[in-house]
Amino acid sequence: MSPGPVVRLQPAQLPQFEALLAGNALPTGDCAEQAENFFGILEGERLIAAGGLQPAGEYFLLRSVVVDPACRGRGLARELSEFLLGRAEAANSPAVYLLTESAAEYFTRLGFARIERERVPEAVRQTRQFSSLCPDSAHCLVLRLPRN
């Protein structure tokens, strides 16, 4: 079975998403309150990749891009990331930020650059993901928009 297109996650899919996050040591603390900002790729009824794009003022926070370990190597993270970044560009956002402990190298290949946490706009720093869910040791990255 081949994966479907990127779709907005439905409330009934939230437990699958949280299980995928937890299984990959990613925070789940505010998933319910941010549910409308999460998207995924399904294979049948099974969620195989997911991530989010949380608005923060005029900016966005790219969140929790995760792929089921059994489905890695198929380009799903890139497909999902490109979809989410395209949404940010369509909204005329000047930048997308993210925090990661393990995927900084991957996201720099997508055009993100490291940035000091203190240089991140206040609207982004006030999100729960940024202020309390991700550890201070997480790498902070930014992608300036529009991409060329």
CATH number at residue 125: 3.40.630.30
Residue 135's alpha-carbon distances to 25, 26, 29, 49, 61, in angstroms, are: 12, 11, 13, 23, 15
Tell me, what DSSP letter sits at residue 26? -
CA 80 to CA 84: how far, in whole Å?
Answer: 6
Q: To the nearest whole percent, how much of the chain has pLDDT over 70?
A: 99
Instruction: Establish if 1 belongs to a structural domain.
Output: no
| pLDDT > 90 in the chain, percent | 82
**Contact (Cβ atoms closer than 8 angstroms) between residue 3 and residue 47:** no
The answer to whether residue 54 is domain-embedded is yes
Q: What is the pLDDT of residues 1-28, one digit of tens each?
A: 678 899 999 999 999 999 999 999 888 8
Domain that holds residue 113: 6-144
Chain Cα centroid distance, residue 105: 15
Contacts of 1 (CB under 8 A, 6+ apart): 43, 44
**The total number of structural domains that make up the chain:** 1
Tokens (6 digits) for 54: 């949380």
* Cα separation, 29 vs 55, whole angstroms: 17
Interval 93-122: pLDDT, tens:
999 999 999 899 999 999 999 999 999 999
| Residue 56 φ then ψ, to 5° | -145, 90
Q: Closest by alpha carbon to 76, among 102, 45, 39?
A: 39
